[in-house]
Amino acid sequence: MAHTHSHTSFYESARVGRAFSVGIALNLLFVVVEFAAGLRFDSVALISDAGHNLSDVVGLVLAWLAFRLARIRPTARYTYGYKKSTVLVSLLNACILLVAVGAILVESVRKLSDPQPVPGDSIAWMAGIGIVVNAFTAWLFVRDKEKDLNVKGAYLHMAADTLVSAGVVVSGLAMGRTGWYAIDPIVGILVALVILFSTSKLLLASLRLSLDGVPAGIDIEGIRSGLLGDIPEVCDIHHLHVWPISTTENALTAHVVVRTLDGMDAVGRRLRERLAEYGIRHVTLEFEKEGCRCDNPCT
């Protein structure tokens, strides 16, 4: 039997850690400013949006917490450490986004049935600040968003809020000049549908990982055929399982049937090198000689 694993450096990234720190601080400050502006202008819309942005801060804090937990070393009780928390948090953040979409839709439908006068220009100015804050925060995560679902979730949170703020600017200016207050809920519904489309992919990916499904981008049969074709000593591979340890690390176990048990170390090393090319570095292999049953291996 051969076993190896190595830890990727993603969770040690100072850049991602700084992105979370700056994003949390900046967005928390904006929540305070927006809430104060809502009280100043007596705007329920601004106060509600401040509450929505506060939920985004919570999402960022959760993602940052998972990022930190993933760095904790394994223990006798948690042999993979707390890396799985990254999967759970990505699922939770996807659910938070869906709740936010639902809240936007409910509020938009309510406003559409009974449009109320609002200070359009004041709301547009505050939303303009929101565009800058949210877009800058999204930019902090854009470089790493395809490397980790939590980073992608944080990016989607901020990108979605940028869309919301842009919609509020458009509707605020339009309402201030036309007096047609139904524009606000109509824009809200359109923005909610855009967020829903982008969030659905994050939710499905998170569900797959939380159920230990094969991570996206990994083809089990492709791996099997690739290993069989590249390593002549291997004549069959079965009991092949791949599952996520975290949102960035995958594990594999397999029974490898070889023509001879001689030179297993060299074969195992070549297999691990090929699997690393597929992004799989936590590998456990059990070797079997051709013609032997896996429940009664030859010696």
Least confident range of 142-146, 182-186, 279-283: 182-186
Residue 299, judged by CB atoms within 10 A of its CB (0-12, 13-18, 19+), counts as: exposed
User: 């938070």: which residue's tokens?
Assistant: 96
Mean pLDDT over the full length of the chain: 81
Percentage of the chain exceeding pLDDT 70:
88
Of the two residues 291 and 16, the one the predictor is more confident about is 16
Query: For position 242, what pLDDT does the model report?
Result: 93
Residue 211 confidence (pLDDT) above 50: yes
Q: Specify the CATH architecture of the domain 11-210.
A: Up-down Bundle (1.20)
Query: For position 296, what pLDDT does the model report?
Result: 53
Least confident range of 31-35, 113-117, 241-245: 113-117
Helices and strands of the chain, counted as H and E runs: 8, 4
Domain extents in the chain:
11-210, 220-289
Query: For position 8, what pLDDT does the model report?
Result: 45
| Spatial separation of the C-alpha atoms in residues 127 and 30, rounded to whole Å | 11
Q: pTM of the predicted model, to two decimals? A: 0.71
Give the confidence band of 293 by pLDDT, cuts at 50, 70, 90. low
Give the confidence band of 5 by pLDDT, cuts at 50, 70, 90. very low
Q: Which DSSP letter does residue 84 get?
A: T
Both structure tokens of 73: 């070393």
Listed residue (202, 145, 137, 142) closest to 165, CA to CA: 137
Q: Calculate helix-pair angle for 264-277, 220-230, nearest 10 degrees.
A: 140
Of the two residues 124 and 245, the one the predictor is more confident about is 245
Least confident range of 14-23, 97-106, 111-120, 193-202: 111-120
Q: How many CB atoms lie within 10 A of CB 259?
A: 13
User: Amino acid identity of 210?
Assistant: S
Three-state DSSP at 26 gives helix
Report, as an integer, the average pLDDT of 17-36.
Answer: 89
| Spatial separation of the C-alpha atoms in residues 223 and 110, rounded to whole Å | 52
Query: For position 115, what pLDDT does the model report?
Result: 73
In the CATH scheme, what is the code of domain 220-289?
Answer: 3.30.70.1350
Q: How many CB atoms lie within 10 A of CB 130?
A: 25
- What are the DSSP calls for 238-262, one per residue? EEEEEEESSSS-EEEEEEEEES-ST
Of the two residues 9 and 100, the one the predictor is more confident about is 100
Residue 136 confidence (pLDDT) above 90: yes
Q: Are 298 and 261 in contact (CB under 8 A)?
A: yes
Query: For position 186, what pLDDT does the model report?
Result: 79
Residue 217 confidence (pLDDT) above 70: yes
Residue 89 confidence (pLDDT) above 90: no
